[in-house]
Structure 1
Amino acid sequence: LKKHPETVKVLRSYHLDCIGCMGAEQESLRNVSWQHGVELTSLLKDLNKAITK
């Protein structure tokens, strides 16, 4: 997130609002997507899109 702040908007669009949570830095996107019922492939696609804009 520090390197690509533009991804915050994408994470929030998936209702992944725990960006500042204590354990957020240790969690993988795979685990977060599973815990929140988010399709990992779609999330990764949208994150990559945001980074390459």
Structure 2
Amino acid sequence: MITKNMTIAEILRRHPETLPIFERYGLDCFDCQIADYEELEHGASVHKVDIDTLLGELNSKLSS
């Protein structure tokens, strides 16, 4: 399960299949060094993405 406290890099290392979701929301943080330190909730906030919606889609991808 993906949580809002996980870093973007951690999520992508564990679940590379979620990359298209990050791209769809304009969260291209995976391509920069800050992804190793930036928690999902912060990245979503910076990009004005609703964290609950994003978490729902990410976790839905894991169960499909």
Residue type of the alignment partner of 2:34:
G
1:1-53 aligned at under 5 Å gives the runs 1-53=12-64
Q: Percent identity?
A: 36
Farther off after superposition, 38-47 or 10-19 = 10-19
Q: Which runs of 4+ in 1 moved over 3 A?
A: none
Q: Which runs of 5+ in 1 are unaligned?
A: none
RMSD of aligned C-alpha atoms? Answer: 0.8
Aligned residues: 53
Secondary structure at the residue paired with 1:38? coil
Q: Which runs of 5+ in 2 are unaligned?
A: 1-11
TM-score for both structures, normalised by structure 2: 0.77
User: CA-to-partner distance for each residue in 1:6-47, whole Å, 9 max, x for gaps?
Assistant: 110111110111212011110011100110100000000000
Mapped to 2, the partners of 1:4 and 1:27 lie a distance apart of: 16
